[in-house]
């Protein structure tokens, strides 16, 4: 798929063709499915994650949001950081259209650029973003794809920039019972995503370990939902950049 820049809020029907069919189909039911499985818990995690980002980053930071789904995080970031410029990259045409609808009333909507692109093949602009945000997207990739995606993301990060990750993990400190329930939920969720989106990832990857190995130690880390959801941030230093470029 070729990269496709979509400038602020054209009508959804005018978006260029492309996108991933599985996620395109999911876009309209995504929030309802999430609610059925997790209630409002994931959205509370997004809220906490967004607040942390908003409290940390500069007012005029250049943000890259990858795999923003139906746009709840995007709306929060754009509302709280009206001076920032935000690129929202997703490979699903329908997800981008949902984001545009959600952000349609924003006064600073022209500061958002939508980009239809696949992170696995994206031709990333070098050091173009101060903050790169990856919410529930890294778990869409196989270990091999993750190496490529992390390398791409690293190349787009400005010196002293940060990578923010929000994702699922196998709980580490929960009780046996909570662990079992979490395991069932993760299995069901992965099964569902594999069937509906042809997700190449067969199982949940140990993201915290993989990121520590490739990106370095997090500068911020927090568990939520009894350890089922985890958020973290990584700072790009010259040392970690040399690790990031795999
Ligand atoms: C599981 S959803 C998460 C959505 C949202 N971040 C959230 O918090 O609910 C994954 C998102 O990543 C996008 N995505 C998955 N694989 C992608 C890829 N290879 N390149 C770009 N976007 C991708 C999907 O279209 C979808 O919007």
CA 63 to mean position of chain CA atoms: 12
Is the CB of residue 114 below 6 angstroms from any atom belonging to ligand 1? Answer: no
**pLDDT: which is higher, 189 or 157:** 157
Q: How far is the CA of 226 from the centre of ligand 1 (A)?
A: 24
DSSP class of 140: G
Average pLDDT estimate for 111-120: 95
Give the chain's length: 246
**Mean pLDDT of the region 75-79:** 95
Mean pLDDT of 11-25: 55
Residue nearest to atom 7 of ligand 1 (CA): 69
125 DSSP assignment? P
Q: Report whether residue 120 contacts ligand 1, using a CB cutoff of 6 Å.
A: yes
Sheet bearing 220-224, strands edge to edge: 4-7, 112-116, 85-90, 62-66, 129-135, 157-168, 229-235, 220-224
Q: Which residues of 5-16 are buried (b: 16+ CB within 10 A; e: fewer)?
A: ebeebeeeeebe
Total of domains in the chain: 1
Question: CATH number of the domain that 103 lies in?
Answer: 3.40.50.150
| 92 in contact with ligand 1, CB cutoff 6 A | yes
Between the CA of 146 and the centroid of ligand 1 the distance, in Å, is 14
Which of 62, 53, 76 has its CA nearest to residue 165? 53
C-alpha of 152 from chain center: 14
Q: What confidence score (pLDDT) does residue 104 get?
A: 93
**pTM (two decimals):** 0.87
| 164 touches ligand 1 (CB under 6 Å) | no
Q: Check pocket membership of 26 for ligand 1, CB cut-off 6 A.
A: no
């Amino acid at each position: 798929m070729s990269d496709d820049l979509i400038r602020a809020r054209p009508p959804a029907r005018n978006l260029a063709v492309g996108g991933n069919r599985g996620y395109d189909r999911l876009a309209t039911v995504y929030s309802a499915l999430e609610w059925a499985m997790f209630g409002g818990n994931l959205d509370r995690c997004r809220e906490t994650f967004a607040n942390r980002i908003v409290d940390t980053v500069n007012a005029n930071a250049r943000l890259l949001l990858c795999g923003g789904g139906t746009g709840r995080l995007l709306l929060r970031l754009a509302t709280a950081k009206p001076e920032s410029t935000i690129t929202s990259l997703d490979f699903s045409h329908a997800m981008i259209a949902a984001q545009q609808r959600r952000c349609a009333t924003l006064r600073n909507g022209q500061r958002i650029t939508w980009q239809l692109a696949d992170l696995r093949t994206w031709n990333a602009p070098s050091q173009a973003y101060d903050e790169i945000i990856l919410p529930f997207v890294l778990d869409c990739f196989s270990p091999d794809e993750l190496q490529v995606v992390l390398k791409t993301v690293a190349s787009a990060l400005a010196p002293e920039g940060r990578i923010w990750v929000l994702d699922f993990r196998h709980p580490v400190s929960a009780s046996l019972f909570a662990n079992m329930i979490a395991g069932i939920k993760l299995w069901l969720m992965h099964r569902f995503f594999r069937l509906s989106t042809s997700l190449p990832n067969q199982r949940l990857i140990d993201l915290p370990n993989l990121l520590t190995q490739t990106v370095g130690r997090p500068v911020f880390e927090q568990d939520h939902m009894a350890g089922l959801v985890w958020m973290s941030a990584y700072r790009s230093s010259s040392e970690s950049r040399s690790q990031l470029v795999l």
